[in-house]
Amino acid sequence: MIRVVILSPAAELGGAERSLLTFLRAAQGTLVEARVLLPREGPLGSALTALGVPWEVAPMPPALRRLSRQPGRFAPKRFIMAVWQGVGYTARLHRRLRRLAPDVIYTNGIKSHVVGALLRPWTRSRIIWHLRDFWEGRYVGLLADRGPHVIIANSRATAWNLKNRMNQPKKVAVVYNAVDSKMFAPEGRRARVEDWGFFHPRIGLVAAFARLKGHELLLDGVPRILEQFPHAGFFFIGGEIYEGIGDRGYEQELRCRVRALKLDRSVIFTGFQPDMAPWYRALDVVVCASTRPEGFGRTLLEAMACGRAVVGPRAGGIPEFVQHEKNGLLYEPGNAKELAGCILDLLQKPFLREKLAVAGRDTAVQRFTPEAHAQAVVQCFSHNI
């Protein structure tokens, strides 16, 4: 069995962390013996405990934790401080890793990828990045060439974006995300959305409160939808879970905008929900409105597994599993009018909504099993370039 130490830059439960849990649920104790190092205590630690996966805290310096990936948010002083603290953090981490003696150091987020690259000269363990986002920057290709032994990308789009910056593109392997089709199934408990009032139909956007997730884009389309469905409810499901400087206070900004547009009777902020399957079941349509390409788009796959019709942008990794008018609908990224039009198509045509929902469930069950995903990831651990 392969001994793996996983470095997570987050202790919350965003998409990358839920993907990690899906892998561990299928692999721990059969394919790998994993231990997770977290930057602090948080919901991810509780979820790991429930799975029986050991974890411990390796405190990440505040300046490194708060680095933002938002465009236009680069601050030289903050960046220099983060690098300075990051070097000391890597040295402390190396001492802990020597004690754990893993076969593989598996990094699950961009900040951890940088740390993994810094660790490479100090360790005999294989460094594996699991890249789940588009990563921009002048030195990304250099880090990717010299840091990890293998890079796992969660889609062809993510892989292509990185390979174009590298001299060693052959070290990048594509392994799609997986979804537990028993946990995310059409049958089962539904969230009590009636607690917020009677809404029909119900449209949901499941995302952390980060600007790139496109909450404002959906808001731009809400008045058009309400003209034809005045009792529709729009559920913003998520929390302000990221520490990036660019995202702090964004939820409050959204709430103020909703009030200014007089949409507060139709737009519901549910807060972070650790158990998402009941929420998907309570919705009629699930939307991804991201204004930057998603590496994969995990929330849409989860909604499809729950038998829900989905709408997503025609960009990034989403078109690799959402096929327009076959198992979902796609719109031009950033086009609020087209996004609203796709939602209206599904609301006005129940037969289309049902057809796409059934096809989406079939896609999730047949193509994205946790067992196949875990096997593919573990194969990458010993892959030689």
Query: Could you give the 3-state DSSP secondary structure of residue 349?
Result: coil
Query: Taking the CB of residue 366, how many other CB atoms lie within 10 A of it?
Result: 9
pLDDT of residue 245: 43
pLDDT of residue 385: 52
pLDDT of residue 73: 47
- Looking at residue 245, the DSSP 8-state letter turns out to be G
Paired tokens of 381: 């651990």
Q: Edge-to-edge strands of the sheet including 329-331?
A: 267-271, 233-237, 202-206, 285-287, 309-313, 329-331
Fold match, 2-178+369-381 / 193-367: yes
The pTM for the full model equals 0.92
pLDDT higher for 203 or 72? 203
CA–CA distance, 233 with 285 (Å, rounded to integer): 11
pLDDT of residue 240: 76
User: What share of the chain in percent tops pLDDT 70?
Assistant: 91
Class in CATH terms, 193-367: alpha beta
Say if residue 314's pLDDT is above 60.
yes
pLDDT higher for 195 or 128? 128
Domain boundary assignment for the chain? 2-178+369-381, 193-367
CA–CA distance, 206 with 289 (Å, rounded to integer): 9
pLDDT of residue 72: 44
Say if residue 28's pLDDT is above 60.
yes
CATH number of the domain located at residue range(s) 2-178+369-381 in this protein: 3.40.50.2000
Task: Report, as an integer, the average pLDDT of 294-323.
Answer: 97
Q: In the chain, count of helices (H) and strands (E)?
A: 14, 13
List 180's β-bridge partners, or say none.
none
pLDDT of residue 74: 42
pLDDT of residue 51: 96
Cα separations (Å) of 125 from 27, 53, 103, 133, 271? 19, 20, 5, 24, 40
Task: Report, as an integer, the average pLDDT of 280-293.
Answer: 97
H-type alpha helices, the chain: 15-27, 43-51, 62-65, 76-100, 110-119, 140-146, 156-163, 215-228, 250-260, 277-282, 298-305, 336-348, 350-367, 370-381
Dump the DSSP string for 10-51.
Answer: -SS--HHHHHHHHHHHHHBTTTEEEEEEESS-SHHHHHHHHH
Query: Quick one: pLDDT band at residue 249, thresholds 50, 70, 90?
Result: confident
Place of tokens 């990034």: 316
pLDDT of residue 321: 98
Say if residue 71's pLDDT is above 50.
no
pLDDT of residue 22: 97
Residue whose C-alpha is closest to residue 84's, from 116, 112, 106, 61: 61
Query: Quick one: pLDDT band at residue 78, thresholds 50, 70, 90?
Result: low
pLDDT of residue 253: 93
Paired tokens of 279: 């929420």
| Residues 107-141: tens digit of each pLDDT | 999 889 988 998 998 899 999 999 999 988 778 89
| Residues 154-167: tens digit of each pLDDT | 999 999 999 999 99
Whether 20 and 48 have beta carbons less than 8 Å apart is answered as no
Name residue 284's amino acid. Answer: D
Q: What is the mean pLDDT of the chain?
A: 91
pLDDT higher for 355 or 65? 355
